């Protein structure tokens, strides 16, 4: 990927001063401005996304639980459990 430096080197010259810190008020205003640009999901979208995530998590829990049960049974058969 190419980086556009607009004719400048990527490294700072040794004599350049450190950039000033952003004040908390300015930071807050910038955060609010960025959040206004966000396209928030509709209620319908949010419900469908949540449902998909919950189903995926439940499927993964089932797979991990089944794998755990199979491996536990295998270890107990090999090493002789109580």
pLDDT for 15-55, tens place per residue? Answer: 667 778 889 999 999 999 999 999 999 999 999 999 999 99
Tell me the two tokens of residue 20: 């000033």
Question: Given a cut of 80, is residue 80 above it in pLDDT?
Answer: yes
Q: Which residue has the tokens 């002789």?
A: 80
| Ranges of H-type helices in the chain | 24-37, 43-79
Confidence at residue 19, expressed as pLDDT on a 0 to 100 scale: 76
Asked if 49 contacts 41 with a C-beta cutoff of 8 angstroms, the reply is yes
């Amino acid at each position: 990927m190419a980086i556009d430096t607009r004719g400048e080197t990527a490294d700072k010259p040794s004599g350049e001063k450190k950039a000033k810190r952003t004040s908390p008020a300015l930071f807050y205003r910038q955060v609010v401005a960025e959040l206004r640009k966000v396209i928030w999901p509709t209620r319908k979208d949010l419900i469908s996304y949540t449902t998909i995530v919950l189903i995926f998590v439940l499927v993964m829990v089932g797979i991990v639980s089944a794998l755990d049960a199979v491996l536990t049974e295998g270890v107990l058969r090999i090493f002789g459990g109580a």
